């Protein structure tokens, strides 16, 4: 930031200095030329033709430098077939008259015709009364004084703009250091949190940094919740596996004759527990993704095709909003809808109806069937892990438990009701709208 600011300040001041130098240099040069113009005008006004046809002044010029040799101010009047009339200051030198050049207006230019002395020359061609001759009036002045003024101007400009640039860069440096000071304070707070001294950024911060600090604290709280959930899941899984493992160990130690059946039964229980906790772990890991988004209708169509192949005798109909999306990973949405629709096709009477509706910031997905339904007293218990009301059909008893846990992880919910249209069970799945 400081480097970019210093570069930009330098570019701006350099451009401004060059522009100002040109303006002031032109102004000083014009002022210098105005002095030459005044002298040349006075020469022309006082010039007349003498009896011998030569030009002369009817009054002497006021500037005494014309009388001092090599004084730096000179004049010369020239014409064809006439001898040049030069100021005494020229001594034995003469100004060069441009060949074939005649100016009715004042013409100014620089010349290096005198060694070691640069000149600024102004000339004009004039026809005096009483003569048809074109007289070239020329006045020249050494550029030393003009160049000295320009040098002084440029030196002053350079020093002033350099001091201004230095002051602005120093100001920018202090402003940047002071402006970024709160970020250094945040860094120190993070170092203290990493060292275990605190678990949040509690130091007061300026309004510009406060939103970032609040988001950082929210992220820390989110990570803590995820870590706590991970510890809880690990503890639950360990507790769930402990009992089946104990049963297997006891049966193996006692050399029980039904050891094989015991191992198969308890291994099936452990597998259900592992599948359930893996599903929860996947959902928790994907919940934090800000880009989580799934089209409900697309997921319903995919699930419908898969369930239809498993239960070809079941009829699955769908209706509702086809454009709505939920803030859920597609894989988790497929798993929830798959469990609900498969249960409806498996335990229902053959008809399944899915409806998609928008309710404020939530999306409701209703799955109905024409089966026997579930008694109201069992509608909460059925969501527990391993609970099955119909053990005559294959399954693990984890489907609805996974639906409930994954929905709650994403901020949704699932509930059971009685279907008014089909007479069976109605499952209401609510998920946050994307």
**Tokens 């008893």 identify what position?**
397
Q: Confirm or reject CATH 2.40.40 for domain 2-150, answering yes or no.
A: no
pLDDT value of position 4: 92
Q: For residue 78, which of 46, 115, 124 has the smallest C-alpha distance?
A: 124
Report the phi/psi class of residue 164: left, alpha or beta, with left for phi > 0 and alpha for psi in -120 to 50: alpha
- Please tell me the total number of residues recorded for the chain in this structure: 434
Find the DSSP H helices in 257-398. Answer: 259-287, 296-310, 330-347
pLDDT value of position 368: 92
- The DSSP letter of residue 383 is G
pLDDT value of position 282: 65
pLDDT value of position 371: 85
Q: Phi/psi at 121 (nearest 5 deg)?
A: -115, 140
Assigned token pair, 264: 């198969």
Q: For residue 77, which of 50, 114, 32, 44 has the smallest C-alpha distance?
A: 44
pLDDT value of position 19: 95
pLDDT value of position 142: 94
Q: Are strands 325-326 and 294-295 parallel, antiparallel or unpaired?
A: antiparallel
pLDDT value of position 105: 84
CB 272 within 8 A of CB 400: no
pLDDT value of position 394: 42
| Largest CA-CA distance found in the chain, in angstroms, rounded | 158
pLDDT value of position 387: 47
**Tokens 């053959």 identify what position?**
350
DSSP 308-334: HHH-TT-EEEEEE-SS-EESS-HHHHH
CB 102 within 8 A of CB 78: no
- The DSSP letter of residue 433 is B
Q: Phi/psi at 367 (nearest 5 deg)?
A: -120, 115
Domain residue ranges in the chain = 2-150, 210-287, 294-432
Element (H, E) at 69: none
Q: What is the pTM of this model?
A: 0.49
pLDDT value of position 393: 45
pLDDT tens, N- to C-terminus, the chain (434 residues)? 899 999 999 999 999 999 999 999 999 999 999 999 999 999 998 989 888 888 888 888 888 899 999 999 999 998 888 888 999 999 989 999 887 667 778 899 999 999 989 999 999 999 888 888 888 999 999 999 999 999 999 999 999 999 999 999 999 999 988 888 888 888 888 888 888 888 888 888 888 888 888 888 888 888 887 777 777 767 767 766 777 888 888 888 888 888 888 888 888 778 877 776 676 666 665 555 556 789 999 999 999 999 998 888 989 999 999 999 999 888 889 988 998 998 888 888 889 999 999 988 999 999 999 888 888 777 777 766 544 444 444 444 456 778 888 888 888 999 888 888 888 889 999 999 98
pLDDT value of position 99: 75
Buried b (16+ CB within 10 A) or exposed e, 7-46: eebeeebeeebeeebeebbeebbeebbebbbebbebbeee
Just give the CATH number of 294-432: 3.30.565.10
């Amino acid at each position: 930031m400081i480097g970019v600011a210093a570069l930009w300040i330098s570019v701006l001041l350099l451009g401004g200095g060059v522009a100002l130098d040109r303006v002031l240099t032109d102004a000083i040069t014009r002022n210098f030329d105005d002095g030459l113009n005044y002298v040349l005008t006075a020469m022309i006004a006082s010039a007349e033709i003498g009896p011998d046809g030569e030009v002369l002044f009817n009054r002497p010029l006021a500037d005494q430098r014309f009388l001092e040799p090599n004084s730096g101010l000179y004049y010369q009047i020239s014409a064809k077939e006439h001898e040049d009339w030069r100021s005494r200051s020229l001594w034995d030198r003469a100004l060069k008259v441009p060949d074939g050049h005649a100016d009715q207006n004042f013409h100014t230019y620089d010349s290096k015709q005198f060694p070691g002395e640069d000149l600024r020359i102004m000339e004009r061609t004039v026809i005096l009364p009483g003569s048809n001759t074109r007289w070239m009036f020329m006045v020249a002045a050494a550029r030393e004084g003009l160049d000295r003024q320009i040098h002084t101007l440029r030196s002053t400009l350079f020093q002033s703009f350099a001091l201004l640039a230095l002051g602005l860069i120093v100001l920018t440096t202090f402003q940047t250091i002071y402006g970024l000071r709160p970020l250094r304070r945040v860094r120190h707070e993070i170092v203290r949190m990493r060292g275990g001294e605190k678990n949040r950024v509690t130091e007061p911060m300026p309004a510009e940094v406060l939103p970032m600090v609040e988001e950082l604290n929210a992220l820390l709280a989110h990570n803590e919740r995820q870590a706590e959930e991970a510890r809880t899941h690990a503890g639950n899984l360990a507790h769930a596996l402990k009992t089946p493992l104990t049963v297997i160990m006891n049966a193996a130690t006692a050399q029980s004759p039904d050891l094989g059946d015991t191992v198969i039964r308890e291994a099936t229980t452990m597998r259900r527990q592992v599948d359930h906790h893996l599903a929860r772990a996947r959902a928790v890991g994907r919940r934090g993704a800000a880009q989580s988004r799934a089209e409900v209708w697309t997921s319903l169509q995919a699930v419908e095709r898969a369930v239809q192949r498993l239960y070809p005798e079941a009829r699955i109909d769908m209706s509702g909003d086809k454009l709505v999306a939920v803030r859920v990973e597609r894989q988790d949405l497929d798993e929830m809808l798959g469990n609900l629709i498969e249960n409806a096709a498996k335990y229902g009477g053959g008809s399944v109806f899915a409806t998609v509706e928008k309710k404020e910031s939530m999306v409701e997905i209703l799955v109905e069937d024409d089966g026997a339904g579930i008694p109201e007293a069992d509608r909460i218990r059925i969501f527990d892990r391993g609970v099955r009301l119909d053990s005559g059909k294959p399954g693990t008893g984890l489907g609805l438990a996974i639906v409930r846990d994954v929905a709650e992880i994403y901020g949704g919910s699932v509930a059971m009701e009685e279907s008014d249209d089909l007479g069976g069970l109605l499952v209401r799945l609510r998920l946050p709208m994307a």
